[in-house]
Amino acid sequence: MTYTIAVAGKGGTGKTTFTGLLIDSLINEKEALLAVDADPSMNLNEVLGISVVSSIADIREEALKRNPKFDSMPKDRLIEYLLHQTLIETDSFDLLAMGRPEGKRCYCFVNNLLRRHLDVLSEQYKYVVIDNEAGMEHLSRMTTRDVDLLIIISDPSKRGLLTAKRIHSLVIELNIPIKKQLLVINKLRKENTEKIITNARTLGFNNILALPQDDQATIYDEEGTPLVDLPETSPLKMAIVDFAKQIQNENNTPSEQMVNSNIPRG
């Protein structure tokens, strides 16, 4: 069974950083993982240290074009073919980029075919992890599947928390079926953590994960170094590794920790 995680939040709160590090922590040899970059600015690949050539947006355009090379191919087959061309496969996970949002043209027919193929593709993975834009437009278009875990990310500001609350309402309006929700408050400093968690609870969030401000992450970003290369001692990375273990345990999959604890010591 596929476990789908969607990450949402306003720009700059750390969605891509978190999504990239979560993907890196969930990767293991036994379970396939599909990373989806659903933010038009497409930079999840940079955090993960890989390059992207084409996106789902290009498939939509290609499918509506007249192309002698593909004219004899039924649209449905063409979309399936283009989707597999667009999928980036690495040794440890696959990546799909959604690309630009749609223009004024009607893509309804293509979108329906795409959604079906994306659903079929998703079923081949244990984890699907989606980095969304704040508007959540792609998410509602890309799948008919339930989202098992919606993670809304906020910075510690009051405004950030209020935006998180708005995104929560938006998801309900969009009728995206969500099984579980989590608020992640990122960039917390020790001295303000408790107070901000209390603020978030007052706004109605009760499932909360606190993540520390980690200056090394900012420095890596400034230098263009993939964040997955952060050292194991990075407080942000350590917190996300722990969280990934929780997800794996809830899904009854052996996490590294459990496997290691089965190895006799000495």
Ligand X SMILES: Nc1ncnc2c1ncn2[C@@H]1O[C@H](COP(=O)(O)OP(=O)(O)O)[C@@H](O)[C@H]1O
Tell me which residues touch Mg ion (CB under 5 A): 15-16, 39
Nearer to ligand X, 218 or 249 (CB): 218
Q: Give the whole-angstrom CA distance, residue 20 versus residue 42.
A: 12
Q: What string marks each residue from 206 to 245 as x (binds ligand X by CB under 6 A) or -?
A: -----x-xx--xx--x--------------x---------
Stretch that binds ligand X, among 5-13, 104-112, 115-123, 141-149 (CB under 6 A): 5-13
Label residue 7 left, alpha or beta by phi (over 0 means left) and psi (-120 to 50 means alpha): beta
Size, binding site for ligand X by CB under 6 A: 17
Residue closest to Mg ion, measured at CB: 16
Q: Give the whole-angstrom CA distance, residue 38 versus residue 8.
A: 10
Q: Are 25 and 16 in contact (CB under 8 A)?
A: no
Q: Which of the listed partners (ligand X, Mg ion, none) does 214 bind, with a CB threshold of 5 to 8 Å by partner kind?
A: ligand X
Q: What string marks each residue from 161 to 190 as x (binds ligand X by CB under 6 A) or -?
A: -------------------------xx---
Torsion on CA atoms 81, 82, 84, 85, rounded to nearest 10: 120
DSSP state of 230: S
In the complex, what is the shortest distance from the CB of residue 77 to Mg ion, in angstroms, rounded to a whole number?
Answer: 33
In the complex, what is the shortest distance from the CB of residue 50 to ligand X, in angstroms, rounded to a whole number?
Answer: 16
DSSP 205-247: --SEEEEE--HHHHHHHHHT--GGGS-TT-HHHHHHHHHHHHH
Q: Are 87 and 58 in contact (CB under 8 A)?
A: no
In the complex, what is the shortest distance from the CB of residue 153 to ligand X, in angstroms, rounded to a whole number?
Answer: 6
Stretch that binds ligand X, among 12-20, 120-128, 157-165, 245-253 (CB under 6 A): 12-20
